[in-house]
Amino acid sequence: MKQDIVYVQGSIISETGFHFAKEFTAFALPPDADRTVYTINGDYILNRERTTESYYQYCASGDIIAYGMKDGVIACLPRPIVIHNYFKKGLKEVQEMMGLIKGTKYDITYHRMLYIECMGCLELFLSDMMISLILGNKDNYDRFCSIYNPNLKNACEVFEKIREVNCHNIQGIIHDIFNKVLQTKLPELSELCKMIITRHDLVHRKGFTKKLYYDPVVISDSVLNHLIDLETEWIDSLYKNLQNMIEDVYPEG
């Protein structure tokens, strides 16, 4: 068992700021010594100067209190299995919507919107998975900071830096983060990158390509189904590549 628990003999109270941890547990019994990183005696007051280390679990013998939705916030990191299930749920909803819009006068517009929604599911998966595995592991956290910004002061700033990443730039920044920070190879990209170009046509040019004669992009049921199948296969393959790391970072699941 790795040491990954900070035990607070008192309450954890978040007065200001935004604070991340792998998990927060109130009214907890003292953990085993071989799991305890260190113990804090008395209430642990969180603010903009004092925060949590996101790659640890925080267990308090007392309560856990957060004062607000926008300030004084505490948050557990998203678990990879939850991220993966939410991705699959999003694509399932797209398939259900396809059945509802068939034959309506807005069929063309809805198909374009659903294509963009599919790409959003992919981008959210990548963003949340980076947050989960970088903030949830000290080695990944330190590598990310050393490569992208050594001046990042805490997990909240690292979170914001990851959220700034353009997640459809898969051949660029996404490839670099997974390769250099998470030390994981991305699945084959060429077919997915073609779909991302279509996404750009839909988002930035209302469904027209960059060609001089404004060639329109046609999104049909078959195009959407192909995108869903491609994304599902690609994400499942990536999740499999990440499995050893996921089990190391989140051994409890």
Rounded Cα distance, 232 and 122, in Å: 9
- What predicted TM-score, i.e. pTM, was given to this entire model? 0.93
pLDDT at 122 over 90: yes
How many residues are there in the chain? Answer: 253
Amino acid 2: pLDDT:
81
Buried b (16+ CB within 10 A) or exposed e, 219-245: beeebbeebbebbeebbeebbeebeeb
Rounded Cα distance, 206 and 214, in Å: 11
pLDDT at 167 over 90: no
Tens of pLDDT along 196-215?
Answer: 999 998 898 888 888 766 78
Amino acid 207: pLDDT:
81
pLDDT at 107 over 90: no
Question: Looking at 36-50, 160-174, 204-218, which range is the least confident one?
Answer: 204-218
pLDDT at 102 over 80: no
Q: Is the Cβ–Cβ distance between 17 and 71 less than 8 Å?
A: yes
pLDDT band per the 50, 70, 90 thresholds, residue 132:
very high
Q: Which residues, 6+ apart, have CB-to-CB distance to 50 below 8 Å?
A: none
| Angle between helical axes of 221-241 and 80-101 (0-180°, round to 10) | 170
pLDDT at 251 over 70: yes
Amino acid 113: pLDDT:
93
Q: Which residue has the tokens 């199948």?
A: 229
Amino acid 1: pLDDT:
66
**Alpha-carbon torsion 122, 124, 130, 133, what sign?**
negative
Amino acid 205: pLDDT:
87
Q: Is 157 or 208 the better-scoring residue by pLDDT?
A: 157
Amino acid 106: pLDDT:
83
Fill in the DSSP letter of residue 208: B
Question: Looking at 89-98, 201-210, 219-228, which range is the least confident one?
Answer: 201-210
Amino acid 253: pLDDT:
66
Q: What percent of the chain has pLDDT over 70?
A: 98
The distance in angstroms from the start CA to the end CA of the chain is 14
Rounded Cα distance, 220 and 35, in Å: 54
